[in-house]
């Protein structure tokens, strides 16, 4: 099986993870944000100026292609055999998961008010131990961290998560030597693993996101003293 990309300990495969995962023997930890089966709305609309007819014109602020596989119920069965697993969005398919004491919560609004989006996101783990909480503002254009739009950072996927969150997840799993994200989207998990000096394997079924991930991985972080 030929990788789509391989460099500096990061390997990308373009294809269906259900076909590729069984051939991988070096995975210590699976960290995934799979399609939840909720038909996520990827057309973003905002109210524009009033027209002469007193009706509002709606302008799409950013349109995304539908999330692949999100139009059918998600089954996590092919991911549950690994020693360490973190699965985001698990509240949408928790009836298909084993019981767990250690759920991860991402507080996305910090101390701001609620809106029509979720205040938090929830991940299932098989790590054992108590539940844990990560706080990081992530609402529309208001984002705390390296992805803050004021820094010129582009969000490349409709359900993209922050690099700091994925680094935190990797820390929760004890910094395993090889991280695998079988639904890597724009490559945030791979970027987080690279920044931490860990090996990583990413699998993505849509080639346009493989291209985006390769570009993100090529960006080097300069260290200043």
Q: What is the pLDDT of residues 12-27, one digit of tens each?
A: 999 999 999 999 988 9
Task: Of 179, 187, 194, give the one whose Cα is nearest residue 213.
Answer: 187
Strands (E), the chain: 5-7, 10-14, 29-32, 43-50, 56-63, 85-88, 104-107, 120-125, 132-135, 138-139, 142-143, 178-181, 199-204
Summarised one tens digit per residue, pLDDT across range 132-175 is 999 999 876 777 776 654 444 567 777 789 999 999 999 999 99
Strands in 10-14's sheet, in edge-to-edge order, are: 5-7, 10-14, 199-204, 178-181, 29-32, 85-88, 120-125, 104-107, 132-135
For the beta carbon of residue 173, count every other beta carbon within 10 angstroms: 18
Fold of 5-35+72-218: Rossmann fold (3.40.50)
Summarised one tens digit per residue, pLDDT across range 98-120 is 999 999 999 998 878 787 788 99
Dist. CA 190–CA 7, nearest whole Å: 12
Q: Considering the chain, what percentage of its residues have pLDDT values greater than 90? A: 63
Is 163 within 8 Å of 188 (Cβ atoms)? Answer: yes
Q: What is the pLDDT of residue 143?
A: 76
pTM of the model: 0.83
Q: Where are the domains of the chain?
A: 5-35+72-218
Maximum CA pair distance of the chain? 64
Q: What is the pLDDT of residue 183?
A: 97
- The string of DSSP codes covering 38-99 is S----EEEEEEEE-TTSPEEEEEEEE-PPPTTTTS----GGGTTSSSEEEETGGGSGGGS--
Summarised one tens digit per residue, pLDDT across range 50-59 is 333 333 333 3
Q: Are strands 120-125 and 85-88 parallel, antiparallel or unpaired?
A: antiparallel
What integer best gives the mean pLDDT of the chain?
A: 84
Mean pLDDT to the nearest integer, 81-89 = 97
- The string of DSSP codes covering 48-60 is EEE-TTSPEEEEE
Strands (E), 90-222: 104-107, 120-125, 132-135, 138-139, 142-143, 178-181, 199-204
């Amino acid at each position: 099986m030929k990788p789509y990309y391989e460099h500096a300990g990061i390997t990308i495969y373009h294809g269906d993870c259900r076909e590729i995962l069984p051939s991988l023997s070096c995975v210590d930890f699976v960290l995934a944000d799979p399609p939840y089966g909720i038909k996520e709305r990827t057309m973003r609309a905002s109210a524009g100026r009033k027209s002469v007819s007193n009706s509002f014109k709606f302008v799409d602020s950013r349109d995304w292609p539908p999330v692949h596989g999100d139009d059918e119920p998600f089954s996590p069965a092919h991911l549950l055999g690994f020693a360490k697993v973190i699965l985001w969005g698990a509240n949408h398919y928790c009836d298909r998961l084993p019981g767990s004491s250690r759920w991860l919560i991402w507080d996305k609004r910090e101390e701001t008010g609620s809106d029509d989006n979720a205040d938090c996101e929830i991940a299932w783990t098989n790590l054992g131990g108590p539940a844990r909480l990560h706080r990081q503002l992530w609402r529309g254009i208001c984002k705390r961290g390296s992805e803050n739009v004021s820094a010129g950072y582009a969000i490349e996927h409709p359900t993209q998560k922050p690099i700091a969150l994925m680094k935190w997840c990797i820390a929760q799993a004890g910094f395993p030597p090889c991280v695998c994200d079988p639904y890597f989207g724009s490559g945030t998990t791979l970027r987080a693993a690279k920044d931490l000096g860990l090996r990583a394997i990413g699998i993505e079924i849509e080639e346009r996101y493989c291209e985006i991930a390769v570009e993100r991985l090529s960006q080097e972080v300069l260290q200043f003293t």
